[in-house]
Chain A
Amino acid sequence: GDSVTQKQGQVTLSEDDFLFINCTYSTTTYPTLFWYVQYPGQGPQLLLKVTTANNKGISRGFEATYDKGTTSFHLQKASVQESDSAVYFCALVINTGNYKYVFGAGTRLKVIA
């Protein structure tokens, strides 16, 4: 079936460190891929989106590249700030007549000042 895997449950970094959050997916279709961010006490919100047509998404200093060969969609940021502390979800959507979303388990990022 369709699935998204985030193996890192929690990542702790210092300010200005490089961020890398791993995400791999499995599907038989051509998905649109997303990263959502959830700040404390709030619902998830869209961070960036990538389709198979454009391969890369960039938003607020975050970047993710779609790699069909490795079925990966890792999230990166060159220099994190304390305000980036949140939970990050990788997700995909498949259009099978209805829009079906599949979310990863989430990676909690803690940035220490």
Chain B
Amino acid sequence: EAAVTQSPRSKVAVTGGKVTLSCHQTNNHDYMYWYRQDTGHGLRLIHYSYVADSTEKGDIPDGYKASRPSQENFSLILELASLSQTAVYFCASTLSTEVFFGKGTRLTVV
């Protein structure tokens, strides 16, 4: 069974603070993704990576950075958190077609 683990599962951050969301997969997948989910917007792609030490911008990358230090790990970094970044964030991985998602991280910026 493919596994994608996100940490933390929830977090409250202060405006202007730095936030790091972590993702670990044991699937040996090449591709990893970060999405955010907001009511009415579905899943929007922030950053993705298809190989370690390389990341690509998705559809809504502004205000976010990503890091892929190894095949298994993919982090999403908010250098200066803002109220508009309150959302649920999902990490996902895939080898080719089926995407496997983590359980999500609920981020609240206050």
Sort chain B's interface into a size bin: 20 to 34
Chain A window 83-94, contacts with chain B (Cβ cutoff 8 Å), 1 for yes, 0 for no: 000000100010
In this assembly, does A42 line the interface, its C-beta being within 8 Å of a C-beta of chain B? yes
Chain B window 22-57, contacts with chain A (Cβ cutoff 8 Å), 1 for yes, 0 for no: 000000000101010000111111001010000010
The count of residues in chain A whose C-beta lies closer than 8 Å to any C-beta of chain B is 21
- Tell me the residues in window 11-54 of chain A with beta carbons closer than 8 Å to chain B beta carbons: 32, 34, 36, 41-46, 49
Known: A98-B50, A101-B33, A103-B42. A44 touches B90 (CB 8 A): yes
In this assembly, does B103 line the interface, its C-beta being within 8 Å of a C-beta of chain A? yes
In contact, A99 and B41 (Cβ under 8 angstroms): no
Q: Which residues of the partner chain A approach B7 to less than 8 Å between Cβ atoms? A: none
Return the contact of A101 from the options B4, B40, B45, B100 (Cβ within 8 A).
Answer: B45
In contact, A41 and B103 (Cβ under 8 angstroms): yes
In contact, B40 and A32 (Cβ under 8 angstroms): no
Tell me, rounded to whole Å, the shortest Cβ–Cβ distance linking B25 to chain A. Answer: 12
In contact, A43 and B42 (Cβ under 8 angstroms): no
Q: For the complex, what is the distance from the CA of A9 to the CA of B40, rounded to whole Å?
A: 7
Return the contact of A105 from the options B41, B45, B56 (Cβ within 8 A).
Answer: B41
Chain A window 35-75, contacts with chain B (Cβ cutoff 8 Å), 1 for yes, 0 for no: 01000011111100100000000000000000000000000
Q: For the complex, what is the distance from the CA of A93 to the CA of B31, rounded to whole Å?
A: 13
